[in-house]
Structure 1
Amino acid sequence: MSHTIANPEMPAATAHPEGGQFALMGQRRFAPFFWTQFLGAANDNLFKFAFTVLVTYQLQVQWLPADLAGLVIGALFILPFLLFSATSGQLADKLDRRQMIIWLKRAEVGIMAIAALGFFIDNIPVLLACIFLMGLQSTVFGPVKFAYLPQHLSERELTGGNGMVEMGTFVAILLGNVAGGLIIAVPEIGAHHVGFTCVGLAILGRVASHHIPASPAMDGSLKINWNPLTETWANLKLARQTPVVFRSVLGISWMWFFGAVFLSLFPAFAKDVLHGDEQVASLLLVVFSIGIGTGSLLCEVLSRRHVEIGLVPVGAIGMSVFSVDLYFATRGLPPASGLGLGAFVADTAHWRVLADLALLSLFAGLYSVPMYALIQMRSQPTHRARIIAANNILNALFMIASALLAGALLGAGFTIPQMFLFVGLANAVVAFYIFMLVPEYLLRFVAWVASRFVYRFKVQGDEHIPSRGAAVLVCNHVSFVDAVLLMAASPRPIRFLMDHRIFKVPVLGWLFKLARAIPIAPQQEDPQAYETAFEAAAQVLREGDLLAIFPEGAITKDGKLQPFKGGIMKILERAQADGVAVPVIPMALNNLWGSFFSRVETLDGEQTAMVRPFRRGWFNRVGLNVGAPADAISVTPAGLHQRVGVLLA
């Protein structure tokens, strides 16, 4: 297992992770935090669901009709996210995050003690006040929660850590709802037991929070702006400074819009469409939660422990496909009424419905986890929590918009299956729009597919690719998809300096234009284009990004490493003149020669590529070896040629 470059925000002890995402559960930097947020999510949902059942079935409250109770409770809980998220983001950037979590867990114990009193005396106003206060506590915790992870996890652990947290959150929501419904249903003393349980969970969360390691403030000098309106706008402007981050925020908010439609319609879907009872509605929630959790955990496996946003289009496609299929699965269901859980599951006509629900939620997990990880990785540490606060605000607004739109469409005569069809098709349109705005998603998707389904791609030494700062990647040139494979190996975007002729290749040319590759022509052929290319390359390094170059100047004609040209020296000289410290990372692609995208000699002695697609069979084994960085001052074309040759061997 490869090691990683240490995250500068992380303590030295965490610089070399071993094992996968489940190994984090045995480490202090993650496990106490995981259980703290897990217990908090379980407590929130146990309290909310038990209170909803109480006012819906057990207490007759004249001023709070039973059919509006769930809506009022949900609105009170989400209101603080709109009002106080901006302030919460500032606090999470300014203060020690461990101390903030401890203070929040102390507050939870106090709030739940008041809520327990409310359950004991059946005081609805007190319980409604506690719902608002728990929403406020969750609002403040949100930015701390997602800003904590990149402070303690390396880039290679970030996807797995987010997957564990996402899985834990949905499992906690599920268990909280189930436990709340079961406990409140106990005759006469159910409400009392809910109070005791909520206080107990809060105390356990407080104990877990005590073991969270120190998490120093990222911007201790930050001056708090207490005006939520101006600060919300300021946070959105911060997010928009990095387009890929802001588009990811919008993408996550859309996912909450999408999910809120399903979650809000489950009871009516179970009753009116599937003809099931309350247990069937609970089964839908269980299947949905298991799907989200499974998809979240799969992210680390499918991403090879990198932040792989190529999974986002995969998730979007799956969400649309299985939402649309859910509509068709509900057509022609046998007539029935009041089906219990056993009778519902025994009818094979319902299995397709459950499979669609499980798969669309699984793909939603694949969609959301890489986006969260990307926001954490690409945001500046000093204002990361404020960007996450902006994300929470937009999430809340999108969920409110989801409820309003769903109500309007149902009022206009849409059936529930038609609602699922609508959001499935809308998801395809929204996803396509986002991927066109930020081509990096699409590029990473192509690279992910190529490295897993066209080739069996193995990378060694990828820890040498820096997670931050400028660097020049130097690689041999074997095929027309070399750049695609390098994209797949790097957790960060790469700008390529490439022969202008490759942009004329169908499909690949369009792809490289989308990747903002820099075309270069020989100096004697087009001196102006030659100089323009080197200036563009210098600008890439000034901006602290990765630049890749194929110093051979063209794809090899015989599979052997060709002499390196002097362009690499011109790039490094410009970087030194600009005062940019640029390490040079040697790389070697191996076993690509003779594959579909490489050149091959025909019978008449001509060199051609992309003929006879399966001449080497399926899933060719290819690899990339990455060497240790070289100091730009000591680099020579001959020296780099030798290092790449060693990696090839």
Structure 2
Amino acid sequence: MATQFQNAFSDNALKNLIILLVLARPMSQAERDTSVMLAGALFALPFILFSMFGGWLADRFSKQQVMERVKTAEIGIMFFAALAFLLHSLPLQLLAILCMGTHSALFGPSKYGILPEVLPFEKLSWGNGVLELLTFLGIILGTLAGGLFASWFKETPAVSGLVLAAIAIGGWMLSRSIPKVPPANPQCSFRVNPITDLWRQLMRMRGDRDLWRANLGNTGFFFIAALVQMNLVLFAHDVLKLSETGNASLNAALAIGIGVGSVLAGYASRGKIEYRLVPAGALVMFLSTIPMGLAAITTPAFSTALVALGLGAGLFIVPITAVLQSRPAPENKGAVQGAASVLSFVGILASTGVQRLLRLVLSSGEIFWVCGAVALLVGTYVAYSRRAEFTA
């Protein structure tokens, strides 16, 4: 779990740092919006291309071994990012985001797939709550670090890359302490075509109603999360007129809420998967976005709404993650996690285009209302599809 904390920290520090450096460049608003959208898309694209390969690695080899090897690659990626900062090259900086996205796409299936192998079922929701808490603590500190690096090392951004490389070395060391587990399916043949493999896993998931609904909910969650995060950067810069550090503090408020909501969901599950938390979390997300779109909202009020939005998101995602981990057969957990990652980042990639279109007709504040409405729709679907259980 400490390795995942470092992974979330480094992902968000690098991505937020590059976005803030983009915002500081002299360019038109259209060029700036395009660059921010491109940064999000480049981070999401590898999850679509390589998550199925990451799932195969998680099934074929020891998940601990996969995570250790991926962490080794991260060290090289961060040194490359330092070079991109030294050259002040935006294309190379965006390429570094693409490389980190690839790293995380390969890391994800093993990260989530190993939990059911080291925890008993009755502690799975609790374990996911703690994992999501550490993930979003990593997001908090990583986002803040990206803002601080952009401010502290504005003239020498390569220093930021060297600091992130040092942190990556720490992450590699942590990965070596992960419990060693045997390969779940050592005879698993290499799946050459990720498209046919994805289709096979989706058809397998459709045969399990709960697993399929969890997959849809997971995709919807990441669509909303990415849309909120992209819009938040622009709202903080254009409407609230915040500095790099102030911009990062809003992301921190959101992540604090998600972390607290995740822990609450873990404890509220009481040794089982509590589906009722999904529509409850969706309702909290919807209600919290209402004040966020108001023209006269102050920064403290907006920050409070962000914490509430994150709280609802934590309640929403923990039971969904537990379903994705517990329902597949042991020898197929990595492949299912890979397929879920592909679809979640299809949602993230879709959000970049949707955000671009919404900016043509809505203010950045009003886009938060769209996020809340999508959350309410997903929560309503879950409540309706399990209405017999909810009314019992």
Are residues 1:219 and 2:185 paired? Answer: yes
Write out per-residue CA displacement over residues 238-289 of structure 1, whole angstroms, 9 at most, x where no aligned residue. Answer: 2212111011010111111222222121133335555655554333212111
Structure 1 residues 124-133 or 260-269, which shifts more? 124-133
CA deviation after TM superposition for structure 1 residue 214, in Å:
1.2
Task: Specify every segment of 5 or more residues in structure 1 that has no aligned partner in the other structure, as ranges.
Answer: 1-33, 334-343, 447-483, 485-649
Specify the alignment match of 2:340 in structure 1. Answer: 391
Gaps of 5+ in 2: none
Q: Give 1:203 deviation, angstroms.
A: 0.5
User: Relative to 1, partners in 2 of residues 1:91 and 1:287: Cα closer, same or farther, differing over 3 Å?
Assistant: same
**Are residues 40 and 53 of structure 1, via their aligned partners in 2, closer, same or farther at CA, if it must alter by over 3 Å?**
same
Structure 1 Cα separation of the partners of residues 303 and 348 of structure 2: 24
One-letter amino acid of the structure 1 residue matched with residue 20 of structure 2: V
* C-alpha deviation, 1:55, in angstroms: 4.3
Aligned to 1:434: 382
CA distance in 1, matches of 2:90, 2:224: 32
Q: Which structure has the larger Rg?
A: 1
TM-score (norm 2): 0.91
Q: Cα gap change, 1:322/1:119 in structure 2, threshold over 3 Å: closer, same or farther? A: closer
Contact residue 288 and residue 309 of structure 2 kept, 8 A: yes
Matched, 1:143 2:91: no
Q: Report the counterpart of residue 304 of structure 2 in structure 1.
A: 355
Q: State the distance in 2 between where 1:273 and 1:61 align.
A: 18
Q: Does 1:315 align with 2:281?
A: yes
Aligned to 2:267: 301
Distance 2:295 2:83 in 1: 48
1:488-527 to 2 correspondences below 5 Å = none
Note the 1:185-264 alignment, pairs <5 A. Answer: 185-186=151-152, 190-264=156-230
Once residues 364 and 312 of structure 1 are traced to their aligned partners in structure 2, the CA distance between those partners, rounded to angstroms, is: 9
Relative to structure 1, the CA distance from residue 280 to residue 385 in structure 2 (aligned partners, 3 Å threshold; closer, same or farther) is same
Residue 11 of structure 2: aligned partner = 44
RMSD value, Cα: 2.5
Residues 99-144 of structure 1, C-alpha deviations (whole Å, 9 max, x = no match): 1111111111122223223333444444333322221111011111
Q: Within 5 Å, which residues of 2 pair with 1:519-538?
A: none
Task: Point out the more displaced range, 46-55 or 247-256.
Answer: 46-55
- The 2-side partners of 1:391 and 1:51 are apart by 27
Per the TM alignment, residue 401 of structure 1 is displaced from its structure 2 partner at its CA by: 2.1
2:126 to 152, 157, 160: 160
In structure 2, the residue matched to 1:367 is: 316
Count of paired positions: 391
Q: How does 1:468-483 map to 2 (within 5 A)?
A: none
Separation in 2, partners of 1:231, 1:422: 33
Structure with larger RCO (C-alpha < 8 A, sep 6+):
2
* Richer in strand (by share): 1
Hey, what does 1:57 align to over in structure 2?
A: 24
Match of 2:121, as an amino acid?
E
Measured in 2, the distance between the counterparts of 1:51 and 1:272 equals: 18
Q: In the superposition, relative to structure 1, how do residues 278 and 232 fare at CA in structure 2: closer, same or farther (>3 Å)?
A: same
1:402 aligns with 2:355: no
Give the match for residue 422 of structure 1.
370
Residues 409 and 133 (structure 1), Cα distance of their counterparts in 2 relative to 1, 3 Å cut:
closer
Q: How far apart in 2 are the matches of 1:240 and 1:415? A: 38
Q: State the identity %.
A: 32
CA distance in 1, matches of 2:181, 2:8: 21
* Shift in alpha-carbon separation, 1:157–1:116, aligned structure 2, 3 A: same
> Matches of 1:332 and 1:61 in 2, distance apart?
28
Asked if the contact 2:266/2:318 (under 8 Å) is kept, the reply is no
Q: Secondary structure at the match of 2:283?
A: helix
Q: 1:119 to 1:267 in 2, by over 3 A?
A: closer
Deviation at 1:220, TM superposition (A): 1.1
Partners of 2:99 and 2:240 in 1: how far apart? 37
Following superposition, the deviation at residue 146 of structure 1 comes to 0.6
**Dislocated runs of 4+, deviation >6 Å:** none
**Match 2:148 to one of 160, 182, 204:** 182
In 2, Cα distance between equivalents of 1:55 and 1:418: 24
Whether contact under 8 Å (2:129, 2:265) holds in the other structure is yes
Contact kept? 2:215, 2:340, Cα under 8 Å: yes
The one-character-per-residue Cα deviations of 1:449-498 (angstroms, maximum 9, x if unpaired) are: xxxxxxxxxxxxxxxxxxxxxxxxxxxxxxxxxxx5xxxxxxxxxxxxxx
Bigger share in helix:
2
1:192 and 1:93, CA in 2 relative to 1: closer, same or farther beyond 3 A? same
- Counterpart CA distance in 1 for 2:75 and 2:373 is 44
